[in-house]
């Protein structure tokens, strides 16, 4: 069965797929009976009527349960495929895109921007004093902060923006069709929103965290690695400048 047909049976409800499978089976069985009757030059008498009844009844009785079982298997295969894809593409803790997938999509976005002359800005975000958070609240506290940012960051971005957990306490953004000035304004809004966000730790406890954010606008000569490297340098400049701030690294 072709991928498109398989996808149809996976997506549709059983009340659509099972009757369709039965109809196909009955159609094939009846069609075969008529073809055999014509090829063998047999009369359309009482025996043909009995054969026609069998040709209709047997597929109905057999194809409905077997069709349901096949659809069930197809859906299990599709679910397993989606789960495997999620593991390969998404960070387990935050559910954001992981570094590998972000780099893969980012290289395509950069190439598209360079071909079309569109603007593109990359950003790296680092949680300030993350080691202190882990020391004071344990790794469960650090995980709570990472998960809170995983939920909050996409809400501050546009639908076309990309966000990923870059690694450790670092996150990465890719902002298509965005000038450096607009990206700086967006990053400042993200920084302010996170600084004001209470992170629940359980037991009624909360904490707040801040971000140091580095930005870099893509140039026609950039590779994805050089673009990210400039954003990384800008992020460390933000750290050195006092943390909880945004720094743009010129291209």
- Tell me the CA distances in angstroms from 33 to 36, 154, 161, one per residue in order: 5, 59, 59
Q: Of 139 and 26, which is predicted with more confidence?
A: 139
Among the three residues 56, 89, 122, which one is the final residue of a domain in this structure? Answer: 89
Do 54 and 109 lie in one domain? The reply is no
Residue 1 has pLDDT above 50, yes or no: no
List 109, 169, 170, 217, catalytic entry: 169
Do 77 and 111 lie in one domain? The reply is no
Do 137 and 161 lie in one domain? The reply is yes
**pLDDT of amino acid 203:** 80
Cα–Cα dist 244/182, whole Å: 19
In a domain, residue 94? The reply is no
Q: Residue 244's domain is classified under what CATH number?
A: 3.30.70.270
Residue 38 belongs to domain spanning: 3-89
Q: Which residues contact 18 (CB under 8 A, 6 or more apart)?
A: 64, 67, 68, 71
Cα–Cα dist 18/16, whole Å: 6
169 is catalytic: yes
Per the structure, the count of domains in the chain is 2
Please check whether residue 194 is in contact with residue 217, taking contact to mean a CB–CB distance below 8 angstroms.
no
Do 165 and 82 lie in one domain? The reply is no
Buried b (16+ CB within 10 A) or exposed e, 35-52: eebeeeeeeeeeeeeeeb
Please check whether residue 154 is in contact with residue 95, taking contact to mean a CB–CB distance below 8 angstroms.
no
- Does this model's pTM top 0.85? no
**pLDDT of amino acid 72:** 58
CA 15, 17, 20, 22: dihedral to nearest 10 degrees?
-80
Q: What is the pLDDT averaged over residues 132-153?
A: 94
Do 119 and 210 lie in one domain? The reply is yes
Do 73 and 126 lie in one domain? The reply is no
Do 158 and 39 lie in one domain? The reply is no
In a domain, residue 106? The reply is yes
Do 25 and 136 lie in one domain? The reply is no
Do 28 and 147 lie in one domain? The reply is no
Among the three residues 62, 89, 116, which one is the final residue of a domain in this structure? Answer: 89
Among the three residues 60, 89, 118, which one is the final residue of a domain in this structure? Answer: 89
């Amino acid at each position: 069965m072709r991928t498109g047909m398989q996808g149809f049976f996976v997506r549709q409800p059983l009340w659509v797929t099972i009757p369709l499978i039965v109809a196909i089976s009955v159609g094939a069985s009846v069609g075969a009976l008529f073809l055999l009757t014509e090829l063998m030059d047999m009369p359309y008498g009482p025996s043909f009527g009995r054969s026609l009844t069998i040709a209709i009844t047997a597929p109905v009785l057999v194809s409905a349960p077997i069709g349901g079982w096949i659809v069930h298997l197809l859906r299990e295969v599709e679910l397993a495929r989606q789960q495997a894809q999620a593991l390969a593409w998404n960070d387990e803790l935050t559910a954001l895109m992981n570094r590998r997938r972000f780099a893969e999509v980012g290289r395509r976005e950069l190439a598209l921007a360079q071909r079309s002359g569109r603007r593109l800005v990359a950003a790296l975000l680092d949680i300030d004093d993350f080691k202190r958070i882990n020391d004071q609240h344990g790794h469960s506290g650090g995980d709570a902060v990472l998960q809170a940012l995983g939920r909050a960051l996409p809400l501050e971005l546009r639908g076309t923006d990309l966000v990923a957990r870059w690694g450790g306490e670092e996150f990465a953004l890719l902002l298509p069709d965005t000038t450096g000035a607009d990206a700086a304004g967006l990053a400042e809004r993200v920084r302010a929103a996170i600084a004001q966000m209470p992170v629940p730790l359980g037991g009624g406890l909360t904490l707040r965290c801040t971000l140091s954010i580095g930005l870099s606008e893509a140039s026609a000569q950039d590779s994805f690695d050089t673009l990210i490297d400039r954003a990384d340098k800008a992020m460390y400049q933000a750290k050195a400048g006092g943390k909880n701030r945004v720094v743009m690294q010129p291209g």
